[in-house]
Amino acid sequence: DGGITQSPKYLFRKEGQNVTLSCEQNLNHDAMYWYRQDPGQGLRLIYYSQIVNDFQKGDIAEGYSVSREKKESFPLTVTSAQKNPTAFYLCATRRTGSYNEQFFGPGTRLTVL
């Protein structure tokens, strides 16, 4: 089954703890993206990676970090420096050869208590 996997769907953490969200894809797409969505709002870009071992900051990168050691994986770490980490986090890939057609995972809802 081709697609994007984000796990877990719901995640709870205590304030001050770092947490890593997983994103795995078997679509063989080069580009991957992380977005954040707050209730009633659109998506905001956190980080993106066009190719393995390379990534760039998006519009709201502060308090987040990423790595791209493998084509299939693009984990996002929410650090304790992120002031309002509770949100819905979405991972996406861009179809190779397409400029703006993105495929999204099911998302992880992070709640920091």
Partner 1 sequence: DAKTTQPTSMDCAEGRAANLPCNHSTISGNEYVYWYRQIHSQGPQYIIHGLKNNETNEMASLIITEDRKSSTLILPHATLRDTAVYYCIVRAVYAGGTSYGKLTFGQGTILTVHP
Minimum CB separation of residue 10 from partner 1 in Å reads 10
User: What does the block give as tokens for 77?
Assistant: 């770490």
Q: Is 105 buried (19+), middle (13-18) or exposed (0-12) by CB count in 10 A?
A: buried
Residue number with CB closer to partner 1 (35 or 64): 35
Length of the chain equals 113
Q: What's the CA gap between 80 and 77, in Å, rounded? A: 10
Residue number with CB closer to partner 1 (51 or 81): 51
> Which 65-104 positions form the footprint of partner 1 (CB under 8 A)?
88, 90-92, 94, 99-104
Q: Is 105 helix (H, G, I), strand (E, B) or coil?
A: coil
| Order of all β-strands in the sheet with 76-78 | 4-7, 19-25, 76-78, 64-66
Residue number with CB closer to partner 1 (80 or 102): 102
Rule CB under 8 A: is residue 50 a binding residue for partner 1? yes
Rule CB under 8 A: which residues touch partner 1?
A: 4, 31, 33, 35, 40-45, 48, 50, 56, 58, 88, 90-92, 94, 99-107, 109
